[in-house]
């Protein structure tokens, strides 16, 4: 059966944009999301958002209240990123995001996958206007044409693609649980001091026997020196590759280059964003997946933390701890909007170095957790690559279903 060519306006009950007014901010309320809250999995990450009053949300036009089945689409700056809304959790979103409400002619998931395709992105790119900040207008969006098969064919295509996304989502949940387990273990051993054998370990002036009070520069190397060959390609990771809530370094954001500029790091290093608001938002990563001996480069706004007298896993988990993060944030200097954490202040951070036995024991527990997270992330990368190869073929109707 031949696919029909229709405009988006012909398969959507409404196409609107987000809130136009600067919203009032409150400590607790309804999340207000921006394009920066869309993660690499095309989902909204509500972990670092501001909030608006409930009554502000209640007063919005119904077309601007996202509901299950809507597709949101970034139309300004980093345009071309769709998000499929799967539940009715209330939130407010900025005007740089459009909201499409499908009608009975198109399945929400099919619309979402259509807008994820390279063909649709090319149309959005051609329709975008402006130089400094390119924008896809609502009028242009409504007039974009897509290929629309029967509902039965839509269901078959969605079934194939969503199977990949379900596996990816399940792996992401496992990664989250594993990282939470590692953070709990770190807190229990090194903050609450409930390490193995703590009951029988003598305490002297608040320090367990065999432990030592020192500064962080004695156990961690900050911005260690790496030598990169001038020839050959190197992998570069931008700030966008760091997560606000996970150790995962997003390889899909990286690229290959012959440049040797930028911050250098290798497997086992921890990357900490030093600039506002990335530091406050929690951008941190544990480097894994490079080849043995490979050195990658990244943003000059990274602080590289390398283990010197503790395990690499402890370095990362320390960087995620609330007290360390507060110290890093309080060390920031510079003009508004360009403040940066000061490495010299972090070097002087007071640290209670455990005995070597405890360090080794923690590594025995933590290593399998980190290895499993790496394996799950690698599996997700393979699944995403397979899905993304299949997506344009299915959405073009090249395969008869």
Do 239 and 278 form a contact (C-beta atoms < 8 A)?
Answer: yes
State whether 14 and 142 are in the same domain: yes
Strands 4-7 and 92-93: unpaired
Report d(CA 117, CA 100) in Å as an integer: 16
Give yes or no for a cis peptide into 277 (omega within 30° of 0): yes
State whether 235 and 343 are in the same domain: yes
Helix boundaries (H) for 117-211 = 118-127, 138-143, 151-186
State whether 217 and 347 are in the same domain: yes
Give CA torsion, residues 73, 34, 181, 274, to 10 deg: 130
Three-class SS state of 187: helix
Do 136 and 128 form a contact (C-beta atoms < 8 A)?
Answer: yes
Domain-embedded: residue 378: no
Report d(CA 268, CA 305) in Å as an integer: 9
Task: Give the domain-ending residue among 97, 127, 148.
Answer: 148
Domain-embedded: residue 262: yes
State whether 124 and 222 are in the same domain: no
Q: Which residue range is the domain that position 274 belongs to?
A: 212-353
Question: pLDDT tens per residue, the chain (401 residues)?
Answer: 589 999 999 999 999 988 777 778 888 899 998 888 887 778 887 777 889 999 999 988 898 999 999 999 999 887 888 999 999 989 999 888 999 999 999 999 999 999 999 899 999 999 998 877 889 999 999 999 999 999 999 999 999 999 999 999 999 999 999 999 999 999 999 999 999 999 999 999 989 999 999 999 999 999 999 988 888 899 999 998 998 889 999 988 899 998 888 999 999 999 999 999 899 989 999 999 999 999 999 999 999 999 999 999 999 999 999 999 999 999 999 877 789 999 999 999 999 999 999 999 999 999 999 999 999 999 999 999 999 999 988 987 777 66
Domains: count for the chain: 2
Task: Give the domain-ending residue among 127, 148, 169.
Answer: 148
Residues with Cβ within 8 Å of 389's Cβ and at least 6 positions away in sequence, in order, are none
Domain-embedded: residue 117: yes
Report d(CA 4, CA 251) in Å as an integer: 37
HEC string of 229-253 equals CCCCCEEEECHHHEECCCCCECHHH
Three-class SS state of 397: coil
Domain-embedded: residue 108: yes
Whole-prediction pTM value?
0.86
State whether 221 and 136 are in the same domain: no
Domain-embedded: residue 296: yes
Domain-embedded: residue 103: yes
State whether 143 and 216 are in the same domain: no
Task: Give the domain-ending residue among 318, 336, 353.
Answer: 353
State whether 15 and 134 are in the same domain: yes
State whether 266 and 140 are in the same domain: no
Domain with 220 in it: what CATH number?
3.90.220.20
Do 53 and 29 form a contact (C-beta atoms < 8 A)?
Answer: yes
Report d(CA 231, CA 135) in Å as an integer: 39
Report d(CA 307, CA 222) in Å as an integer: 9
């Amino acid at each position: 059966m031949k696919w029909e060519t229709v405009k988006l306006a012909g398969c959507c009950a409404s196409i609107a944009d987000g809130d136009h007014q600067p919203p009032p901010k409150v400590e607790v309320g309804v999340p207000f999301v921006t394009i920066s809250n869309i993660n690499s999995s095309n989902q909204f990450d509500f972990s670092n958002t501001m909030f608006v009053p409930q009554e502000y949300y209640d007063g919005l036009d119904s077309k601007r209240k996202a509901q299950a089945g809507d597709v949101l689409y970034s139309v300004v700056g980093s345009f071309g990123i769709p998000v499929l809304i799967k539940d009715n959790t209330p939130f407010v979103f900025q005007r740089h995001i459009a909201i499409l409400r499908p009608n009975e002619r198109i399945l929400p998931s099919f619309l979402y996958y259509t807008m994820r395709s390279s063909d649709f992105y090319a149309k959005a790119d051609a329709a975008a206007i402006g130089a400094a900040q390119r924008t896809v207008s609502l009028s242009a969006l409504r007039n974009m044409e897509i290929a629309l098969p029967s509902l039965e064919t839509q269901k078959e295509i969605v079934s194939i693609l969503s199977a990949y996304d379900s596996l990816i989502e399940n792996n992401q949940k496992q990664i989250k649980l594993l990282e939470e387990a590692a953070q709990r273990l770190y807190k229990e051993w090194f903050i609450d001091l409930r390490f193995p054998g703590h009951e029988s370990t003598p305490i002297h002036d608040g320090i367990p026997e065999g432990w030592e009070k020192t500064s962080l520069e004695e156990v961690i190397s900050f911005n260690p020196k790496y030598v990169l060959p001038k020839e050959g390609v190197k992998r570069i990771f931008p700030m966008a590759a760091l997560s606000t809530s996970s150790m995962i370094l997003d390889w899909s954001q990286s690229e290959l280059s012959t440049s040797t500029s930028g911050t250098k790091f290798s497997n086992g290093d921890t990357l900490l964003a030093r600039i506002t608001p990335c530091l406050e938002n929690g951008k941190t990563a544990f480097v894994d997946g490079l080849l043995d001996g490979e050195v990658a480069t990244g943003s000059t706004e990274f602080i590289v933390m390398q283990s010197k007298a503790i395990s690499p896993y402890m370095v990362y988990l320390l960087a995620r701890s609330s007290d360390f993060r507060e110290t890093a944030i309080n060390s920031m200097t510079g003009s508004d909007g360009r403040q940066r954490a000061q490495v010299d202040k972090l070097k002087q951070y007071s640290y209670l170095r455990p005995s070597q036995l405890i360090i080794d024991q923690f590594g025995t527990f933590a290593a399998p957790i980190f290895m499993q997270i790496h394996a799950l992330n690698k599996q997700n990368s393979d699944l995403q690559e397979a899905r993304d190869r299949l997506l344009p073929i299915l959405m073009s109707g090249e395969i008869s279903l």
